[in-house]
Amino acid sequence: MSDPIENSTPEQMVNDPSSQLFASLADFYRENGLFPEAIAICQAGLESQPDNLEGRLVMAKCLLANNQFAKARAEAVKILSVHSENLEAKKILAQADSAGPEVPPPASAPSRNEAAAIPETKPAEEPGHAVVPALAETAVPVPTAIPEPQARKIPSSPLPLMAGRPESLSDQTPRIADKPAEIQPAAPAPPAVPAKPPSPAAEESAEWQAGFGKIMNDLVQTPQVKACMLVDEAGYAVADAVSRTGQSLSEDTAALSANIFKTAHEALRKIKLGELERVVIETGDEKIFLRQAGRMVLVISADSSAKVGLVMVNSKRAAEQANNLAQKDPAR
């Protein structure tokens, strides 16, 4: 039985119908302050699924948090053109409008004044057209006077859990997010532009690193899989993912699992059974799968009722993807 997906790139994974949860992954990155990565994931996902509302909402939130107010506004308008009552999109629009110097919207996105001029003869029976009047009618708080440049009005996103993550991936946003309520209207703030745009190499590296997270996130969608983790030869975690009902694998468990794999690997070579490929451990409560992924080990924790065959197929695909991605290290 051959695996249909071989040598997949991260872009192909996003286009894979089984990866429709790119929005959730992007939101996860957004919550952890990794806005460039989240935006990259959304862009890739929306290319193949332009109607994905959740993905577009996440994209808008990331753009807003990343001080790209014009783009955030454009995304919010796109959402409202289809879902005119979407409260989150309205909030984003309001925040984008009030956050910085007024930027002329793109030609395709009608401005507020234009919205008011559109006749109200297209009600909800044609929801696609009811957008802009609804905007003008509803009580979206819009300041009548543009205040002094307050480019740093930051939405109240939680501080990212930055432990262990390199600062270069997000050195702009955490500092901004540290001071959400200390804006001095009297003092002109610098424009809403990142002080140091990430270099192409840094972006490529960030995207490469995010690729491992995508692989794990796809794998954890397998039914009855609770959590999974990629561990390197030394037992350090490379990437992990947890299902909604599962619990994260501790780094100790991952390291010990990698040790089991290594021990078994050496033992099998001694008795001339070749190279160890995978291990399945069954306990009363769960099943643990270990699989070689190049120079890494893939550790999967699943319910005791999990279908071994299905987990094996998906873990094989994930291991191949992880190995291929590891070989594309941009730092090499």
Partner 1 sequence: MKEILNQINEISGVKGSLVVDKEGLVVVSNLMSGLEERTISAMVAGIYQEIIKALKPAEGTELSGVQLTASEGSIIFLCAPECILTVITEPGANIGLVSIKMKASLERLMKIL
Residues forming the site for partner 1 (CB under 8 A): 250, 252-253, 256-257, 259-260, 263-264, 267-268, 270-286
Our CB check for partner 1 shows the closer of 196 and 269 to be 269
Our CB check for partner 1 shows the closer of 94 and 268 to be 268
Residue in the block written with tokens 């350090």? 236
| Burial status of residue 10 (CB atoms within 10 A of its CB: 0-12, 13-18, 19 or more) | buried
Residue type, 250: S
**Backbone phi and psi for residue 69, each to the nearest 5 degrees, phi listed first:** -70, -35
Residue type, 68: Q
Say if CB 219 and CB 300 are below 8 A apart.
Answer: yes
C-alpha to C-alpha distance for 140 and 77, rounded to whole angstroms: 13
Our CB check for partner 1 shows the closer of 9 and 263 to be 263
Bridge-based pairing state of the strands 225-231 and 296-303 = antiparallel
Our CB check for partner 1 shows the closer of 290 and 325 to be 290
C-alpha to C-alpha distance for 262 and 229, rounded to whole angstroms: 16
What's the closest the beta carbon of residue 227 comes to partner 1, in angstroms? 13
C-alpha to C-alpha distance for 223 and 242, rounded to whole angstroms: 12
Our CB check for partner 1 shows the closer of 138 and 250 to be 250
Our CB check for partner 1 shows the closer of 75 and 286 to be 286
C-alpha to C-alpha distance for 248 and 228, rounded to whole angstroms: 8
Assigned token pair, 266: 């050496």
In this structure, the number of other CB atoms found within 10 A of the CB of residue 269 comes to: 12
**Backbone phi and psi for residue 221, each to the nearest 5 degrees, phi listed first:** -75, -10
What's the closest the beta carbon of residue 306 comes to partner 1, in angstroms? 13
What's the closest the beta carbon of residue 284 comes to partner 1, in angstroms? 5
C-alpha to C-alpha distance for 287 and 31, rounded to whole angstroms: 30
Our CB check for partner 1 shows the closer of 187 and 271 to be 271
What's the closest the beta carbon of residue 293 comes to partner 1, in angstroms? 15
- H/E run at residue 296: strand 296-303
What's the closest the beta carbon of residue 272 comes to partner 1, in angstroms? 7
